A and B are shown apart, each in its own frame.
Chain A
Amino acid sequence: MQAYIDQLIRDGYFAGMPKEVVYAVAMVLAAFIVLSVFVAPLAGVTSWLERRVWARMQSRVGPNRVGPQGILQWLADGIKNLLKEDLIPSAADAKLFSLAPYVVFVGFLCAFVVIPFGSQLIVADLNIGILYILAVTSLVVVGILMAGWSSNNKWSLLGGMRSAAQIVSYEIPAGLSILTIVFLAGTMSMQGIIKAQGWAPWDWFLFNNPFTFAAFFLYFTAALAEGNRTPFDIPEAESELVAGYVTEYSGMRFLFFFFAEWGNLYVIGAVATTLFLGGWQVPPVTSDPILLGVLQFVVFFLKAYLWVFIAMWVRATLPRVRVDQLMALCWKYMVPLSFLCLLGTICWMLVFPKGNQIFSVAMFVLGLLIVAYFFKRVVFQIRHARPELYFKPHI
C-alpha cells in the first residue's frame, strides 16, 4: 500500500502537495474503505452467524426472517440502533461516556492495518507488525475502563475493573505464545512470519514442534480472554453484572461495543492464522497475480473465520469462570505453560536448527487423529441421544 502511494508520488500524480498530506489522505481513504467494505459487513455477518450457530446448538432456529436465512439481520439491527435515542445518563461523565465506544472501536480497527490478507493485500507491512497488534488492541481496555467509570453505575464500574485486570493479565500469556513464533520466524513482520511458513500443513508453525502446538491453544485461550469472550466474558457477565460496562449504553454507542467485539473476533482468528496456520500461503497452482491474490485472500479469510466459528462454538458450550479463577488460570496455568512452550521451542531450535520435517508430519497426523476422534464422539452423541425418539411436538 505504502509502496503503491510512493510509486504514485514518484509518477507525479500529486505534484505540488506535501508528501505528508498525501499520506494522510490516503490513510483516511484506506481506513474508510476497509471500514465500510470489509469490517462493517464482516462484524455484522459475524453477529448474524453467531446468533444462528448459537441457536442451532441450542435446538433453536435463530434470526431467519430478514433476507435469505436472515443474513441481513445485522443491517436491520444497525438501522434500528441508529434510529434510537442517544441516551446519556444525567449523572454520567458525558464526555468520557460518549468517547469510550470510539476508543474501543479504534483499538480494534487499528489492528486491521497490519493484517495480511494476501502477499500484496496489506495496508502497511510494519516491521514490528505483531508488536503493533499487541499494542493497539490494548487500547480496548482503556475504552472499557472509561465506559465502566463514566457510566456512574456500580455494575459498570465492576465490569470495567474486571476487564482491566483481565486484559492486562492475559497480555502476558498471549505475548509469550506469540514470542515462540517470533523466535521461530526470526521476524516480527506479519508478512515475514507468513513467508517463514509454507502452504502445506506440516510447514505451518502449528505443527513445527509440540511446544508451538500447545502455544497455539494458549494463544487462542488468552485471545478469547482479551476479547471478553465466553468463558472469560466476566466484564459483561449478564447473569452477574446485568451487562457490565455496557449497562448504561443504548443505541449506536451500544452497537459500537459489539461492533468491536465481533470485529475483534476476526482479528483474533487472523492473528492466529498468520502466526500458526501459514496465513495466506497457497499451493503453487497459478502465476496470474490477480487470481493468486484472490486465492490467497480466500484461503486466509476461511482459515481466520474457522477460528471465529470456534470462538462462537466455545461460547455456546462453556460456563463462565469466576473472576478469581480467571486470575488463577492466567497466573498459575497459562503463564508458566507459555513460558514452558517458549523454552521448549528454544531448545527445539537448538536441537533441530533447520526444523524436523518428519516430526512435523507426525504432528500433523496427530492433529488429524484428534479431529477424527472428535467426529467419532459427535456421532456417538447423536446416536446416544436416540434421534429416532426425538420427541415430536404437536407439529
Chain B
Amino acid sequence: MSVASYVKNIKDTVTSVFEGMTITFSHLVRRPMTIQYPDKIPVPIQETLPRRYRGILEVDMDICTGCLACERDCPITCITIGIEMDKETKQRNFTHFDIDICKCMYCGLCAEACPTGSIRHSQEFEGASYNPAGLVRHFVTQPAPLYKPKKGGETDPKLAEKVDTGLKYLDEFATPDGGAAAEEG
C-alpha cells in the first residue's frame, strides 16, 4: 500500500462520514413521515383514502339483481349466494348472501362484474375480530326479494338514489374504461 493511497483512504473515510452525518443531522429538522395511526390523526384514515381503494366488500341488497356474476367471477369463491323461489308468490328471494372476509383477497373482480354496482369495495379496512366466524359478513338476515331493474329508469326515489350511487361507482371506479370515458367527456 503506497503512502498516497493510505492518506487517500483516511481522507475518503473522513469526508464521506462527514457528508453522511450532515445528511442525518439535517433530518432532525425535517418533518417526520409517520402517520400516528390510529389515534393521533386529524381525520379517520378511511376518509383520506382514494376512492378507488379496495377495502372490505359491502353489498347494497336493495339493488342486487341476484345475477350471481360476482359469485362466478370470484377466484376464491368467498361469496356465496342462495336464491330460492317462493312457491306462493312466485317471487325469487335471497336466502343468504355471505362474504367471507377471511378469504377475500380484495382483487376487485366481483365489483367489476356487477351490473348495478351493488357490490363494491368500501374504504373500510379494519376487520379485526376475535373469531373467524365473525368475519363472515351476512348481508341477508331474512329472505328478501331480488331487485328487478325497471325499464325507463327507477321510479321509487329512495331506490333511484341507490341505483345512481351504484352506477356512479361502476362508472368511475370499477369499470375498466371508466376513466377513459371520463377523459374523453
Contact = CB atoms under 8 A, between A and B. Distances in A.
A60 B33 CA distance: 6
A374 B23 CA distance: 10
Contact of B20 (A59, A318, A333, A382): A318
Contacts of A390: 30-31
A393 B33 CA distance: 8
A55 interface: yes
Nearest to B27: A57
Contacts of A393: 33, 35
B128 interface: no
Given A53-B28, A316-B24, A377 B19 contact: yes
A395 B22 contact: no
Interface in B27-65: 27-36, 41-43, 45, 48-50
A284 interface: no
B130 interface: no
Given A394-B45, A394-B49, A58 B36 contact: no
Contacts of A313: 21, 24-25
A314 interface: yes
Nearest to A379: B26
A314 B21 CA distance: 7
Nearest to B34: A61
A374 B18 contact: yes
A134 B176 CA distance: 72
The dominant DSSP class at the A interface is helix
Interface residues of A, number: 27
B26 A381 contact: yes
A6 B42 CA distance: 63
B17 A318 contact: yes
Given A314-B21, A377-B19, A394-B45, A56 B27 contact: yes
Interface string A2-16: 000000000000000
A378 interface: yes
B113 to A, nearest CB: 29
* Contact residues on B (Cβ < 8 Å of other chain), bracket: 20 to 34
A382 B29 contact: yes
Contacts of B20: 317-318
B10 interface: yes
Nearest to A376: B22
Contacts of A314: 17, 21
B32 A61 contact: yes
Contacts of A377: 18-19, 22
B43 A395 contact: yes
Contacts of B19: 377
Contacts of B50: 394
Contact of A56 (B28, B35, B36): B28
B103 to A, nearest CB: 28
A353 interface: no
A18 interface: no
A394 B48 contact: yes
A160 to B, nearest CB: 28
A289 interface: no
A146 to B, nearest CB: 33
Contacts of B27: 56-59
Nearest to B31: A390
Contact of B30 (A316, A333, A382): A382
A68 interface: no
Nearest to A217: B14
Contacts of A379: 26
Nearest to A394: B48
Given A57-B28, A394-B35, 9 more contacts: A56-B32, A57-B27, A313-B25, A317-B20, A378-B25, A382-B26, A387-B30, A394-B48, A395-B45
Leading 8 A-B pairs by shortest Cβ distance: A394-B48, A381-B26, A377-B22, A57-B24, A61-B34, A317-B20, A59-B33, A317-B24
Interface of A: 53, 55-61, 313-314, 316-318, 333, 374, 377-382, 385, 387, 390, 393-395
18 contacts: A56-B27, A59-B31, A59-B32, A313-B24, A313-B25, A317-B17, A317-B20, A318-B17, A318-B20, A333-B9, A374-B18, A378-B26, A385-B26, A390-B30, A390-B31, A394-B35, A395-B43, A395-B45
